[in-house]
Structure 1
Amino acid sequence: MEKTYLNRFFTRSNIINPQINKDLVVHNYMLLKGYHRNEYFFKNTLFNKLVIGKYSFATTAAFEEVAIGKSKADFVLVNHSHGVVFEIKTDLDNLDRLYTQLEDYSTVFSELYVVTSEKNYYPVYRAIKNFETVGIIVLTNGVNLSIRKEAINFDEYLDFNYLFKLLRRNEYEDIIKRHFSVLPDVPPVYYYKECLNLFKKFNIKVAQNEVMKKLRERKKLNQVKLVRELPMEIRWLMYSSKLNRDELEIIIRQYK
C-alpha cells in the first residue's frame, strides 16, 4: 500500500465520504501503525491517550498547527489554564529547525515536549541537549507514550506580544473588560495597541493563564463530546475539523 495513499486516506474529505466504511478505516489505520507512522498517527495517538484517556473534554482542549512566531506547533493541549506543546518529529522529519521552533513556542508555553519514535530518540536528544527544560516522549512500538525526559516548567521566555497575538478580538476585549471594567476609548488605528498595553499590565503568568483559558473555551463541549462515539482511528481528524453537531452525528451513524 503506497504511503501517499495512506496520507490522503486520513483526510476530512475522504473520511466523510459515504462510501468509506469502518472496516476500511481500521484496516488502513493498522497499516499506518505497522508501516507508516505519519504525523496524523502521532496526533491521533496523543489525542486518544491524553484528551480522552487522561483528561476530560470538560477541562481540556487540543489544537494543531498553532502559529507562534515563525513556527507552527504541531499539537497543543490546554488543560484548565495550563498549556503544553507537543512538537512531533517522525522518522521522516528533519531536525534542523527544531531548536528554533522550541524557542518560538517558549514565548507562549511553559511546558514543551518533543514526541518522536524509538529510532529517532537519540537524534532528537542530541538536537535539544542544550535546551534542558524541554521533555522528550517516545511513541513506542506498542503505541504507548513513554516519557524519556521530563519537561521542566520554564517561564523566562514568555512574551506578552506573542501571547496577545493568539487572542481574537472578542477574547482580548473580554479579558480587558473583566480586569479593567472598560475598553480603551481611542481612535480605531490605536485600539489594538492600547488593548495590548493594558494586557501588558498583568503579571506574565496571569496573562498566560488568561490566554490558555480563552483557547480552551473555543471548543464547544456539547459538540466535542460526540467525538468519543467515533472509531478511535478517526477521532482526532473529526475533532480538529470544526464540524458542527449535526455533521458529527451523521458521521457517527456512518461508522456504526
Structure 2
Amino acid sequence: MKKAYNINQLRDYSCLFSRSEVNRWIDNDFDSVNLKIRRYDDKIAKTTYLKYLKSVYKVLQKFYANEYVYKNEFLNQWLIKELGSEKSIIFNEFRLGKAVADLVMFNGCSRVFEIKTLLDKESRLNSQLEEYKKIFNEIYLIIPNSKIETYKNYHESIGLIAYNQEKKEFLLVRKAIKNHSIDTDSIMKILHTKEYRNIVKEYYGEIPICNDFEQFNVCKKLIEEIPQEELSKLFIETMKQRKIFNRFSSNYKEFNQICLSLNLTDKQKEKLFINLNSTIVY
C-alpha cells in the first residue's frame, strides 16, 4: 500500500464496487478490473481478482472513505451483530416518498440509517429526515468523526453514529429517541397489495368484501383506524416477511454491502466468488 494516491486513481478504484461491476463479475467479465490493473497496478505479482479487489478495498478504506466503505463497514461492524436470534431484515437503498434511505433495519423496531460522508452535502438532509419521521421508530445519521458538532444541531431525537477513519470503527454519539407515530399515507406507498390486505386481516380478523378497484381505499381507511403503536408493530412484522437475502460472509466481508444491494442469492454469491478466485489475466 502506497503512502498517497492520486484522487483520480481513488475515484477509479471506488467505481469497482458498484452494482454494474459486480453483475459483470458474475458473468465472468473482468474487463473493467483489467483496465484498472493496466492503468495503475501493472507491476503486481500474479494473484487472483479476489485478492486484488480486497487490496483495493483497503486503499479506499484508508484514503477514500466513500459511501460504499461507510455502508459496508457499518454493516459488518454494527448491523450484522443485530441479526441474532430475533428475526431481522436489512434493506439497502429503501425508497419512501422522494427520499431513498441508505440502510433500513426491521427487528423489534424500525430503524433508518442515513450516511453522510465528507463528500456529501447537507442540502437535502432536512427533507430526508422529514420523510423518515413518518415511518421509522428510530433515525440515525452515520457521520465522519470530524463532523459531530455540525450534525449535533439537528433535532435531538435523531441519533448520531460517528466513524473514525483512522481507527476504522464506529461510535454511538447519541441514541435516537423512539417514535411510535406512523403515517398511513406513507406506508400505503410502501406496502404491496398482499401486504396491506394482510395487515387488515391480522388486526380485524378478516378482509372486507370489495372489488379490486375499491380494496386500496377500503384497506387504507381501516388501517388509519389502527392505533399508532399497534400499526407500527404490524408494519415491522410485514416488512420482515419480504424476500431479502441477509446472509453475510466473514471471508468476503469487503463485498457484503454490494451483495445486499443486489439482493444476491446464495447460489449467485457462490458463482461470484468462484469467478473472483480466478487468476488475473490482463
If the TM-score is normalised by the length of the shorter chain, which range does it land in? 0.7 to 0.9
Structure-1 residue corresponding to 2:262: 241
Mapped to 2, the partners of 1:109 and 1:100 lie a distance apart of: 15
1:224 to 246, 252, 255: 246
Listed one character per residue, the Cα deviations across residues 51-94 of structure 1 (whole Å, up to 9, x for unaligned) are: 32343386221112222232221111112x41111111000111
Mapped to 2, the partners of 1:60 and 1:46 lie a distance apart of: 16
Mapped to 2, the partners of 1:244 and 1:66 lie a distance apart of: 19
Mapped to 1, the partners of 2:147 and 2:275 lie a distance apart of: 37
Mapped to 2, the partners of 1:229 and 1:193 lie a distance apart of: 46
Q: Which deviates more, 48-57 or 100-109?
A: 48-57
Structure-2 residue corresponding to 1:147: 172
Gap runs ≥5 in structure 1: none
Specify the SS of the correspondent of 2:213: helix
Question: Over aligned residue pairs, what C-alpha RMSD do you find?
Answer: 2.1
Mapped to 2, the partners of 1:27 and 1:57 lie a distance apart of: 33
- 1:39-50 pair list within 5 angstroms: 39-50=67-78
Listed one character per residue, the Cα deviations across residues 77-133 of structure 1 (whole Å, up to 9, x for unaligned) are: 112x4111111100011112212211210100121111110122222223x1xx111
Please tell me whether the aligned partners of residues 113 and 135 of structure 1 are also in contact (alpha carbons under 8 angstroms).
yes
- 1:9-158 pair list within 5 angstroms: 9-16=16-23, 17=25, 18=28, 19=30, 21-56=49-84, 59-79=87-107, 81-126=108-153, 128=154, 131-141=155-165, 142-156=167-181, 158=182
Mapped to 2, the partners of 1:70 and 1:103 lie a distance apart of: 11
Structure-2 residue corresponding to 1:207: 231
Question: Whose relative contact order is higher, 1 or 2, with alpha carbons under 8 Å and at least 6 apart?
Answer: 2
Partner amino acid, structure 2, of 1:52: I
Listed one character per residue, the Cα deviations across residues 5-46 of structure 1 (whole Å, up to 9, x for unaligned) are: 123200233235134621112111111111111111111112
2:209 to 182, 185, 197: 185
TM-score normalised by the chain length of structure 1? 0.87
Please tell me whether the aligned partners of residues 51 and 61 of structure 1 are also in contact (alpha carbons under 8 angstroms).
no
Mapped to 2, the partners of 1:186 and 1:219 lie a distance apart of: 28
TM-score normalised by the chain length of structure 2? 0.80
The alpha carbon displacement at 1:47 in A equals 1.3
Partner amino acid, structure 2, of 1:101: Q
Listed one character per residue, the Cα deviations across residues 119-168 of structure 1 (whole Å, up to 9, x for unaligned) are: 22222223x1xx11111110112121101122111235x31221232211
Structure number with bigger Rg: 2
Gap runs ≥5 in structure 2: 1-5, 34-48, 278-282
Mapped to 1, the partners of 2:128 and 2:85 lie a distance apart of: 28
Mapped to 2, the partners of 1:73 and 1:50 lie a distance apart of: 17
Structure-1 residue corresponding to 2:274: 253
